[in-house]
Amino acid sequence: MKRRYLIALGAVAAGIAAAIAIALTGSGRGAHGIFWSVSTKTLAAGGLRSDGLMLTAAHGRTPSAANGRAAARTASKQFSSKVLEYHYVHCRDQTVDEDCWAVSLDPSALMLGGGAPPGFPAQKKASYLVVLISSVGHAFIEGVEG
């Protein structure tokens, strides 16, 4: 009897842990803003603020997890970069006003401003890359780097 109780308790705990992990990596909010991989302050410095591109809570229902994975794959393929995390958000600026997938990609291979000419100092490496992908058709909307 005691053994069955412990097994059932372990299964419930594992289920709760899995649900939390899915929520935080698939469509939940990071502890200090939308992303865990890049802070709200860093994003604001790169143009993600009220006078530029703004990301807020999605207005509609979050699409399926499969839809989010497909959007993340699209971003990863387009930028040849590993997905760090993705979230369903509302994207708004002068040209966009819709719910979409915001995908944080590994920026380690990205150089700001392209490569440096011979004899000049190396260009600064990017510290973040956030790409917006439409939830319908998974089309690229725009990207922000810095």
End-to-end CA distance of the chain: 58
Tokens describing residue 12: 């419930």
The pLDDT score that the predictor gives to residue 1 is 60
pLDDT of 140 above 80: yes
Tell me the pLDDT of the chain averaged across its residues. 73
- Each residue's pLDDT tens digit, 3-14: 555 454 444 444
pLDDT of 77 above 90: yes
Biggest distance spanned by C-alpha atoms of the chain: 75
Choose the weakest-confidence range: 1-15, 47-61, 65-79, 93-107: 1-15
Helix (H) or strand (E) holding 12: helix 2-22
Structure token pair of residue 72: 């993340």
Q: What is the mean pLDDT of residues 116-133?
A: 75
- Across-strand partners of 118? none
- The arithmetic mean of pLDDT across residues 36-55, rounded, is 67
Domain extents in the chain: 2-145
What pLDDT does residue 31 have? 34
| Average confidence (pLDDT) over 58-79 | 93
pLDDT above 70: residue 91: yes
Question: What sign has the CA pseudo-torsion 57, 61, 65, 66?
Answer: negative
Query: Percentage of residues in the chain with pLDDT exceeding 90?
Result: 32
Q: Residue 17: is its pLDDT beyond 90?
A: no
